[in-house]
């Protein structure tokens, strides 16, 4: 018998995340530290301050959701709902090239409308909730750090915000970046990574548009612009390059520069991958390319949803069924 602990979970159906089958177990912990995992009856409950009978329930490690858009909500909601309600203990935000840092004051409304259009998050909530205590990406991280959150989160610097910050209207309207623009974006990406950003995100799909219908900045960025970002990751020594492709073609057509990104940065390239009716074979071709990349030592991975993606459409909504 193990010594009594502060809190004991008994009769759990434990799924430990290792890939092993579920097994019956008792679990004990003190504070936030697990101190015992063993067979049922292996720990005394006589002096435990709390006993939880988990009969008929699963006990698992916290879920990590690698694709979220809490960039605004994290500035006002300590619970990051609804993720924290469903066993998620870590989220990654800043995906798909949309986010809120770096940001100049004259871009605040524009960034909100970009996020509203791409992710269907009500702009009114973001206008009400975001306090805009930052200009740079490190300052955005500081603003998040000043708030308490019940779950962990990771951030990425978004191409849309970065491009508009550096290039102004030229960046917002998807004009070609100059060499000086690329150098500046590379430096700011390096700054963000050193401050704590997990990586950088961009979008290549025409499905991602602002509230007024404009493509996300960076949708048609030339490879040299993306290589500038890769160089920042190489200088720092870590990073994730996340992008959302045009699922009917882009993963295959743009594979050469994705390989170059992986080689040049030494970082992980993470590709959103969905199966659509009008591109039903693309994911199979992409999997074949992934196999080849792994054999060549290129760290390119597919990011796949655990369920079908649903979109709410209505005549008065931001996603209109007839457009």
- The answer to whether residue 3 scores a pLDDT higher than 60 is no
Cα–Cα distance measured from residue 187 to residue 221, given in angstroms and rounded to the nearest whole number: 17
**Which pLDDT band holds residue 1 (cuts at 50, 70, 90)?**
very low
Q: Which of 15-24, 50-59, 153-162, 278-287 has the highest mean pLDDT?
A: 153-162
Q: What's the average model confidence in pLDDT over 105-125?
A: 95
Q: Whole-angstrom Cα distance, residue 23 to residue 34?
A: 17
pLDDT at 291 over 70: yes
CA-to-CA separations, 21 to 14, 26, 147, 247, 309, in angstroms, rounded: 9, 16, 38, 34, 28
Task: Compute the distance between CA of residue 44 and CA of residue 59 in angstroms, rounded to an integer.
Answer: 19
Q: In this predicted model, which residue has the larger pLDDT, 256 or 228?
A: 228
| pLDDT for position 298 | 92
Quick one: pLDDT at residue 251? Answer: 67
Domains 7-59 and 63-303 share a fold: no
In which band, very low, low, confident or very high, does the pLDDT at 14 lie, cut at 50, 70 and 90?
A: very high
SS3 257: helix
Record: fold of 7-59: Urease, subunit C; domain 1 (2.30.40)
pLDDT attached to residue 36: 92
Whole-number pLDDT of residue 304:
86
d(CA 138, CA 121) in angstroms, rounded, equals: 24
pLDDT tens, 234-269? 999 999 999 998 876 666 778 888 899 999 999 999
pLDDT in tens, 58-108: 999 999 999 999 999 999 999 999 999 999 999 999 999 999 999 999 999
Question: Which tokens hold the place of 107?
Answer: 């871009």
pLDDT at 286 > cutoff 80: yes
pLDDT at residue 306, rounded to an integer:
76
Token pair 């994911």 is at which residue?
283
Top-tier CATH class for 63-303: alpha beta
Query: Which has more confidence, 231 or 5?
Result: 231
Rounded to an integer, the average pLDDT of 181-190 is 99
Domain residue spans in the chain?
A: 7-59, 63-303
**Dist. CA 191–CA 194, nearest whole Å:** 5
How far apart CA 202 and CA 94 sit, in angstroms, is 9
Query: Which element (helix H / strand E) includes 34?
Result: strand 33-38
| Residue 2 pLDDT > 90 | no
Please give the full DSSP string across 55-103, using - where no structure is assigned: TT-EE-PPEEE-----TTGGGT-TTTTTGGGGTEEEEE--GGG--S-S-
Average of per-residue pLDDT values in the chain: 91
d(CA 289, CA 300): 9
- For residues 27 and 150, what is the distance between their CA atoms, to the nearest angstrom? 22
For tokens 């993606």, name the residue.
309
């Amino acid at each position: 018998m193990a010594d009594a602990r502060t809190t004991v979970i008994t009769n759990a159906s434990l799924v430990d995340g290792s890939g092993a089958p579920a097994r019956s177990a008792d679990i004990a912990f003190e504070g936030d530290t697990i101190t015992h995992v063993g067979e049922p009856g292996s720990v005394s409950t006589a002096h435990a301050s709390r006993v939880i009978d988990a009969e008929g329930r699963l006990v698992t490690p916290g879920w990590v959701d690698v694709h979220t858009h809490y960039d605004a909500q994290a500035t006002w909601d300590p619970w990051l709902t609804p993720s924290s309600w469903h066993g998620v203990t870590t989220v990654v935000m800043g995906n798909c090239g949309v986010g809120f840092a770096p940001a100049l004051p004259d871009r605040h409304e524009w960034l909100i409308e970009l996020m509203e259009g791409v992710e269907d998050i009500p702009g009114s909530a973001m206008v009400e909730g975001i306090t805009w205590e930052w200009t740079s990406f490190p300052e955005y991280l500081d603003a998040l750090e000043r708030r308490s959150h019940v779950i962990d989160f990771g951030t990425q610097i978004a191409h849309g915000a970065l491009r508009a910050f550096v290039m102004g209207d030229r960046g917002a309207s998807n004009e070609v970046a100059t060499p000086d623009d690329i150098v500046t974006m590379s430096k700011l990406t390096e700054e963000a990574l050193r401050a704590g950003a997990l990586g950088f995100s961009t979008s290549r799909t025409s499905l991602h548009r602002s509230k007024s219908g404009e493509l996300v900045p960076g949708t048609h960025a030339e490879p040299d612009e993306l290589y500038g970002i890769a160089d920042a990751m190489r200088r720092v020594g870590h990073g994730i390059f996340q992008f959302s492709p045009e699922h009917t073609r882009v993963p295959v057509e743009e594979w050469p520069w994705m390989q170059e990104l992986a080689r040049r940065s030494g970082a992980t390239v993470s590709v959103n991958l969905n199966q659509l009716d009008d591109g039903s074979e693309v994911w199979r071709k992409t999997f074949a390319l992934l196999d080849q990349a792994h054999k060549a030592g290129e760290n390119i991975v597919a990011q796949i949803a655990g369920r079908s993606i649903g979109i709410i459409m209505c005549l008065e909504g931001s996603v209109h069924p007839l457009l």
